[in-house]
């Protein structure tokens, strides 16, 4: 693992490859193509991905949320995992929405994955 003071972009990609992948798709520059609001773009994250990807993304999200708020902020603000700022108050698209903290944002992403129908089916087995 790494300490909060040596989060290189390469290390972040290596530790969080699935989250990095989301940052180039539903949570990337064109996230507004995945929904009319940030919450819709978040819910789009697990759609169209295989079960293995989603389970690994859940593990990565749990690992990320195990860090302190300061560490989560530092990791997120490298912009390796995201191309959009979930804390920004954007004008376009209207009513996009935002989160007060990066932790709150990542918690919402985790909820989207664990409540996704395919994950729920897997958990019921």
User: Which tens digits make up the pLDDT trace of 89-106?
Assistant: 877 776 778 889 999 999
- Strands (DSSP E) contained in 3-110 are none
Euclidean distance between CA atoms 71 and 24, whole angstroms: 22
pLDDT at residue 30 above 70?
no
Whether the model pTM is above 0.85: yes
56 CB-contact burial (10 Å; exposed 0-12 / middle 13-18 / buried 19+): middle
More confidently predicted of 59 and 47: 59
Rg (CA), the chain: 14
Does residue 82 register a pLDDT over 70?
yes
User: Kind and range of the H or E element at 118?
Assistant: helix 117-124
Residues in the chain: 125
Return the ∠ at Cα 93 (arms to 74 and 80), rounded to 5°.
25
């Amino acid at each position: 693992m790494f300490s909060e003071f040596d989060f290189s972009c390469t290390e972040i990609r290596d530790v969080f490859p699935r989250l990095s992948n989301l940052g180039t798709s539903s949570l990337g520059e064109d996230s507004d193509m995945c929904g009319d609001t940030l919450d819709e773009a978040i819910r789009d994250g697990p759609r169209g991905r295989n079960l293995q990807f989603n389970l690994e993304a859940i593990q990565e999200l749990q690992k990320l949320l195990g860090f302190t708020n300061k560490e989560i902020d530092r990791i997120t603000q490298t912009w390796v995992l995201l191309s959009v700022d979930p804390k920004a108050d954007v004008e376009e698209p209207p009513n996009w929405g935002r989160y007060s903290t990066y932790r709150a944002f990542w918690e919402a992403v985790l909820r989207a994955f664990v409540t996704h129908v395919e994950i729920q089916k897997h958990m019921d087995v």
